[in-house]
Amino acid sequence: MAKQAAVEMKNITKRFGSKVVANKNVSLKAYRSEILSILGENGSGKTTLMNMIAGIYFPDEGQIFIDGQEAVIASPKDAFSYKVGMIHQHFKLVDVFTATENIVLGINDGKYNLKESTKKIKEICDKYGFEIDPDKKIYTMSVSEKQTVEIIKVLYRGADILILDEPTAVLTPQETSKLFDVLRRMRDDGKCIIIITHKLHEVMALSDRVSVLRKGEYVGSVNTAETSQEELTEMMVGKKVDLNINRSQPKDIVERLVVEDLSCVDRQGTTVLDKVSFTANAGEILGIAGIAGSGQRELLEAIAGLQKNIDGNIFYNDPNTGNKEDLIGKSPVEIRNLGVRLSFVPEDRLGMGLVANMDITDNMMLRSYSKGKTMFLERKPPKNLAEKIIDELDVVTPGVSTPVRRLSGGNVQKILVGREISSIPTILMAAYPVRGLDINSSYLIYNLLNEQKENGVAVIFVGEDLDVLLELCDRILVIGSGVVTGVVDARTATKEQVGLLMTKSKEEIAGDANE
């Protein structure tokens, strides 16, 4: 007799509107004592599919079976009654509560005994090897600790089918391997673990089996031991993809931007950047690595003139005049008026780089609308630029008058990067430019950045995928809690080395300095 699947999905279809088919006729199985990876590019319908097991969405067609019995899962509460728990990408925790309080929150069993709950939580921790203080408040926790709380939360409710949505996106390499150990222990305990991911090396390292989705459709499942990264990529993209980034040796290196002792205090009065010093060279890609929220955003915004309460120096060496300008404390307009051609692809594409409800032409105009002497807008040049970018970067859009919110993530990013590059910058800053993009778009962006570097632009690239940072950049600046913890040569450094620098504490750095 064949093994009974813990979860079986049969012919699941989910549509959003009549055109968007998030999942089409997907059938797959997950077993107990197994880690199954759901692999697919962004937008391939992985999360939507899993959300239907977790009761967030309801399938339009098809059936879900849990342990061989048909299940109707219309809400997360239903999901828990089938012992299904999902850990979402965005944590849903109450900041001012402790771990225990968050874990028991919403369990309505008539008793509220925190002591007993804490004991039960400790048992779960011991069993699987979690390290957490149940009495710690959420707002004092690191991202990885918060994730642990989320996992314990579903275990506490008795889940034995666990779905994790991109659990490593926010973790350092060390934290990731810890998480993987825990997941393996849970598998050995007989649980069914499903992780959603688009990172191939994680799939290879962790899972027993892989199911691949492409554009909402089920491509196939393979045993991890019998496959390779190349084969999986081909399944994911539908064709062979060259996964190499063409990194050229930098030439004609000139110091373009010299940052000295840059400090920044945010609105709450917390120091988010503490005496950051580095140099960005023309003709080089400088990578910036660090755990999410370590000050990357503030650093780029400070250079772009968008941060208040900053201190230190930001020197710009003008290639045309040879002048040295200090950009500290200047507004974006003042920086532009100095002749500094600074382009910035911010992390928040639709909330900062672009206006979601405006069409492509009007978004092209953001940088240039004030040109011209009349009080009226000139829509012809931005329209031409929009057409040029759509043509050159293969943007998929019905036309130039389509609001950018209707474009897919990859196309939105092409529009933004295209606009920023079109001003022929001398400095190009890009924060997480491939986040949420499919493989082809990602490599297109890497190539664009490389092209800019070869044109003599000083490129600053904030990334989260260490493999990419090591492959793309020339040097990598690592920051942790707003402090520079090291600068490494990307050609020789290892992932572990960068990972260690990312988690280095302030005290350790101070210690290093004293030696």
Partner 1 sequence: MSSISATKHHKEPLVHIVKRDEMKIWQAWLVRVAAIVLALLLVGFISMALTKEDFFTIYETMYKGAFGRLGSGSTVMLWNFLQKTAILLGLSLAVTPAFKMKFWNCGAEGQALMGGLASMICMIELGDKLSYPVLLLVILLTSILAGAIWGVIPAIFKAQYNTNETLFTLMMNYIATQIIKYYLYIEGGGSNKINPVDEGNLPIIFDNKYALNVLIVLVLTVLVYVYLNYSKQGYEITVVGESKNTARYIGINVKKVIIRTMIISGAICGIIGMLLVSGTDHSIDTNTVGGQGFTAIMVSWLGQFNPFIMILMSALVIFINLGTGKMADTCGLNSSFADIAVGIVIFFVVGCEFFIHYSVRFRHQRKEAKV
In the complex, which residues of this chain contact partner 1 (CB under 8 A)?
A: 10-12, 15-20, 58-63, 66-67, 69, 71-74, 78, 81-83, 304-306, 331-333, 336, 344, 346, 348, 351-358, 362, 365-367, 369-370, 375-377, 406
How many angstroms separate the CA atoms of 376 and 389, rounded?
24
* Partners of residue 16 on adjacent β-strands: 20
How many angstroms separate the CA atoms of 438 and 446, rounded?
12
Measured from the CB atom, the residue of 254 and 377 that comes closer to partner 1 is 377
Q: Which two structure tokens, joined as six digits, stand for 231?
A: 């084969």
Q: Min. distance of Cβ 72 from partner 1 in angstroms?
A: 4
Q: Min. distance of Cβ 17 from partner 1 in angstroms?
A: 4
Measured from the CB atom, the residue of 270 and 376 that comes closer to partner 1 is 376
Does the CA dihedral 62-65-71-73 come out positive or negative? negative
Q: Min. distance of Cβ 68 from partner 1 in angstroms?
A: 9
Q: Min. distance of Cβ 374 from partner 1 in angstroms?
A: 8
Torsion angle (degrees, nearest 10) of CA 207, 165, 91, 411: 140
Residue entry with tokens 């003008």: 318
Measured from the CB atom, the residue of 13 and 177 that comes closer to partner 1 is 13
Q: Min. distance of Cβ 333 from partner 1 in angstroms?
A: 4
Instruction: Produce one character per residue of 355-392: b if its CB has 16 or more CB atoms within 10 Å, e if not.
Output: eeebbbbbbbbebeeeeeeeeeeeeeebbebbbebbee
Measured from the CB atom, the residue of 429 and 444 that comes closer to partner 1 is 429
Measured from the CB atom, the residue of 364 and 466 that comes closer to partner 1 is 364
Please give the distance of CA 496 from its chain centroid, rounded to a whole number: 19
| Pair 58, 215: CB distance under 8 Å | no
How many angstroms separate the CA atoms of 48 and 150, rounded?
20
Measured from the CB atom, the residue of 129 and 351 that comes closer to partner 1 is 351
Q: Min. distance of Cβ 142 from partner 1 in angstroms?
A: 26
Where helices occur in 189-295 by DSSP H, the ranges are: 200-206, 229-237
| Pair 11, 28: CB distance under 8 Å | no
Measured from the CB atom, the residue of 17 and 269 that comes closer to partner 1 is 17
Strands (E), 31-99: 34-39, 61-66, 69-71, 84-87
Q: Please list, in sequence order, all residues whose beta carbon lies within 8 angstroms of the beta carbon of residue 171, skipping any fewer than 6 positions away.
A: 143, 144, 147, 179
Measured from the CB atom, the residue of 12 and 498 that comes closer to partner 1 is 12
Q: Please list, in sequence order, all residues whose beta carbon lies within 8 angstroms of the beta carbon of residue 455, skipping any fewer than 6 positions away.
A: none
Measured from the CB atom, the residue of 357 and 447 that comes closer to partner 1 is 357
Q: How many beta carbons lie within 10 A of that of residue 330, not counting itself? A: 17
* Angle at 274 (CA atoms; ends 273, 280), nearest 5 degrees: 70
Q: Min. distance of Cβ 346 from partner 1 in angstroms?
A: 6
Q: Min. distance of Cβ 411 from partner 1 in angstroms?
A: 16
| Pair 448, 389: CB distance under 8 Å | no
Q: Min. distance of Cβ 184 from partner 1 in angstroms?
A: 26
Residue entry with tokens 């849903």: 92
Q: Min. distance of Cβ 369 from partner 1 in angstroms?
A: 5
Measured from the CB atom, the residue of 178 and 336 that comes closer to partner 1 is 336
